[in-house]
Amino acid sequence: MKKSILLVDDEPHVIRVLRLMLEREGYEVASANDGNEALEKMAARRPDVMVSDIQMAGMDGRELCRTVRARYPDDAFPIFVMTSMTASEERAWVRELAQVEFLEKPLSPRQLIARLTTYFANAATQENPHA
């Protein structure tokens, strides 16, 4: 079964490129323009991984992460946050949130794909260690 990725960014070019490349890698991609739209999409279908920008009009990335963790406390799917700042600068607000990782801009789509591949491989090993 295809792994589903939810892309959240208010920059359509970013969504466009990531969608093209992730779909080619065999992921199922949904996208949202801002935090509120992302929550709507999530209510319809929970993604396996969420990739979100931070600076967005409407609900921004930080608020989205907090809302997601509060709304689905038992389903801590990983969130990759794309930031213009360095990861260390963003540590403060993310401290109490589980499974949030950072992708520094400028973002390399291939790097994102590599991170996702690693994550899903690890997750599969943990679920089925003898496979």
Partner 1 sequence: MKNNRIGLILVVSSLAVIALVVGLLLKRQQTDQAEQVRAQGLGLVRSLAALPASVLLAQPGQPGVLGSVLAQRENPDFAYAAISGDDGRNLAEVASPGTVVPPAAPLALASFEERAVAPGQNARAVREFRGPLASADARLQLRIGYFEPRTPLDMKDLPFYALIALAVFLLVPLIYIVIKREMAPLAALAEQLKSADTAQAQLVELDAGQDVRDLAGKLNRYLDHTSARIRELEQDSVASMASGRLLEYGSNKMQAVLQCLPDGLLVLDPAGEVTFATGKIEPLLGVPVAEVLSQPSEAWCRDPELRAMLARFRGAGQDARSQMTIEFNPLGVPGKRLWATAQALTGHSMAYGTLVVLRDATREHLARQAGNDFVAHVAHELKSPLNVIGMYGEMLADVGIDDPAVRVEAINVIQDEVERMVSLVNNLLNVSKLEMGSMRPERHRVKLDDLLRDAWQQARSRAEAKNIRLDLQVARELAAVSVDKDMFRIALNNLLNNAIKYNSAGGTVTLSAEEGDSDVVISVRDSGIGMTPEDRERVTEKFFRVRETGDEQRGGHGLGLYLSNQIVELHHGRLTIESELGHGSVFSIHLKKMPALAEGGQVL
Nearer to partner 1, 4 or 55 (CB): 55
- Assigned token pair, 40: 């709507």
Cα 117–74–41 angle (5° rounding)?
65
When the beta carbons of 20 and 124 are compared against partner 1, the nearer one is 20
The contact set with partner 1 (CB under 8 A) reads: 10-14, 16-18, 20-21, 24, 33, 55, 57-58, 84, 105-110
Minimum separation from the CB atom of position 24 to partner 1 (A): 6
For the CB of residue 87, give the shortest distance to partner 1 in the complex, in Å: 15
Nearer Cβ to partner 1, position 109 or 120? 109
The residues, any chain, with a CB within 8 Å of residue 97's CB and separated by 6 or more, are 65, 66, 69, 79
Q: Indicate the length of the chain as a whole number.
A: 131
- Provide, rounded to whole angstroms, the least separation between the CB of residue 79 and partner 1: 19
Residues whose CB is less than 8 angstroms from the CB of residue 23 and which lie 6 or more positions away in sequence, other chains included = 29
